[in-house]
C-alpha cells in the first residue's frame, strides 16, 4: 500500500516541477540583458548527463548517443565493438531558456521526455556568478515481460528525474558543474531498495583549443539506497567541434544514457576494466527565427 501511494505521488511531483519551470519562465524571461556568459559547455550534454546549456529559440537538435560493449571482453568480442547501445533524441528550443526533448534508447527500450529551463545565467560583469538550470524528466521501459503470465503494469514501468544543474565558467578555459539529483522509480527490485535515489554529480570541462576540450563526469549515489551490486557512473570524454557538428568521444562504465539508467543501474566496475567506448554526435537545425 505504501509503494502504491509513492507511485501515485510521482505524477503530481513531476507536474509540480514543470509548473515551476513555466512559472519562473514567465518572470525571468522579461529580462533582456545581453551580458551573459556563453558556451560554459559546448552542447546540451556533458557526457552521459545533461549540461546546464539549452539550445536557442527555434533550434532543433538531433542527438545520437552510442556506447559499445566492455573493452575487457577481449578480441573475440572485438574489444566491445561487437555490441552497441544507442539513444536517438530530438531537443527543441521553445525559448533561449526553455528546451523540450524526447528520446528513445535501445537499453530497456526506453522512451524518455524532459523539460529543461535556465533559471539563472552567469553574467560577464559578475552580478550573477553562476548559472542554474532546472531539469524534470520521465522515462518508460517498454520491454516485454520475461513471463507473459506476470505482466508489468504501466505505472511500474515509469521513472522520473529532478535535477539542478549548477555551474559556470571559472575562466575562458575551465568550466565546472554540480548536479544534485533525485531519481524516483515506481518499481524497484526488492523491498529493501529505495524508490527515491539521491545522487550528487560533478563535472569539469577544460578547453585546450578553440575546438577541442576534455571533460569528466561523476555521479555519486548516496550509500544505503541500493542492495544490488551497482556502481557509480564515471566518464571521461573529448569534445571536438567540427563546425556543423559537435562530436564527442568518451569512455565510461555506464550502459544507459538517461538518468534513471546511468545513475541507478550502472553495473560496470572501472576497477575490473568494465569500460565502454562511446560517442555523442549533435547536429543543430535552425527551424525559425534569426540565422547566425
Q: What is the DSSP letter of 280?
A: E
pLDDT at 37 over 70: yes
Query: What is the per-residue pLDDT for 122?
Result: 92
Query: What is the per-residue pLDDT for 289?
Result: 65
Full-model pTM: 0.84
In degrees and rounded to multiples of 5, residue 185 shows phi and psi of -110, 125
Q: Which three cell numbers stand for residue 122?
A: 552567469
Most confident of 14-23, 41-50, 71-80: 41-50
Which of the pair, 73 or 94, is modelled with greater confidence?
Answer: 94
Query: What is the per-residue pLDDT for 8?
Result: 45
pLDDT digits (tens, 9 = 90+) for 141-191: 998 888 777 777 888 899 999 999 999 999 999 999 999 999 999 988 777
pLDDT at 29 over 80: no
pLDDT digits (tens, 9 = 90+) for 89-148: 999 999 999 999 999 999 999 999 999 999 999 998 888 899 999 999 999 999 888 877
Distance between CA atoms of residues 160 and 197, nearest Å: 10
Q: What is the DSSP letter of 22?
A: H
DSSP bridge pairs for 5: none
| Per-residue buried b or exposed e for 79-103, using 16+ beta carbons within 10 Å of the residue's own CB | ebeeeebbbebebbbeebbbbbbeb
pLDDT at 13 over 70: no
Confidence band for 16, pLDDT divided at 50, 70 and 90: very low
CA-to-CA separations, 205 to 73, 214, 284, in angstroms, rounded = 30, 6, 21
Domains of the chain: 2-286 (2.40.160.40)
What is the rounded average pLDDT of the residues 248-270?
A: 93
Distance between CA atoms of residues 72 and 179, nearest Å: 30
Confidence band for 291, pLDDT divided at 50, 70 and 90: low
pLDDT digits (tens, 9 = 90+) for 186-242: 988 777 788 899 999 999 999 999 889 999 999 999 988 877 788 999 999 999 887
Q: Give the list of residues 6+ apart from residue 274 with CB closer than 8 angstroms, or none.
A: 70, 72, 253, 267, 268
Query: What is the per-residue pLDDT for 271?
Result: 86
**DSSP helix/strand/coil, 79:** helix
Amino acid at each position: 500500500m505504501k509503494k502504491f501511494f509513492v507511485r501515485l505521488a510521482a505524477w503530481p511531483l513531476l507536474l509540480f516541477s514543470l509548473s515551476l519551470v513555466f512559472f519562473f519562465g514567465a518572470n525571468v524571461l522579461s529580462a533582456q540583458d545581453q551580458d551573459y556568459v556563453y558556451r560554459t559547455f559546448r552542447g546540451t550534454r556533458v557526457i552521459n548527463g545533461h549540461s546546464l546549456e539549452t539550445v536557442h529559440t527555434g533550434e532543433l537538435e538531433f542527438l545520437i548517443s552510442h556506447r559499445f560493449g566492455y573493452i575487457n571482453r577481449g578480441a573475440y568480442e572485438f574489444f566491445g565493438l561487437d555490441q552497441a547501445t544507442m539513444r536517438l533524441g530530438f531537443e527543441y528550443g521553445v525559448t533561449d531558456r526553455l528546451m523540450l526533448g524526447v528520446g528513445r534508447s535501445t537499453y530497456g527500450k526506453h522512451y524518455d521526455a524532459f523539460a529543461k529551463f535556465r533559471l539563472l545565467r552567469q553574467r560577464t560583469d559578475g552580478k550573477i556568478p553562476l548559472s542554474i538550470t532546472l531539469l524534470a524528466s520521465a522515462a518508460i521501459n517498454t520491454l516485454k515481460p520475461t513471463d507473459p503470465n506476470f505482466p508489468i503494469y504501466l505505472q511500474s514501468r515509469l521513472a522520473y528525474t529532478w535535477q539542478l544543474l549548477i555551474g559556470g565558467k571559472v575562466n575562458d578555459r575551465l568550466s565546472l558543474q554540480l548536479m544534485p539529483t533525485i531519481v524516483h522509480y515506481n518499481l524497484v527490485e526488492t523491498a529493501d531498495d529505495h524508490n527515491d535515489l539521491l545522487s550528487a554529480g560533478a563535472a569539469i570541462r577544460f578547453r585546450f583549443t578553440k575546438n577541442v576540450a576534455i571533460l569528466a563526469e561523476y555521479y555519486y549515489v548516496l550509500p544505503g539506497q541500493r542492495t544490488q551490486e551497482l556502481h557509480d557512473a564515471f566518464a571521461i570524454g573529448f569534445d571536438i567541434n567540427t563546425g556543423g557538428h559537435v562530436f564527442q568521444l568518451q569512455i565510461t562504465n555506464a550502459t544507459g544514457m538517461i538518468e534513471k539508467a546511468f545513475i541507478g543501474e550502472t553495473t560496470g566496475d572501472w576497477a575490473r576494466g568494465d569500460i565502454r567506448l562511446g560517442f555523442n554526435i549533435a547536429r543543430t537545425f535552425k527551424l525559425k527565427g534569426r540565422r547566425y
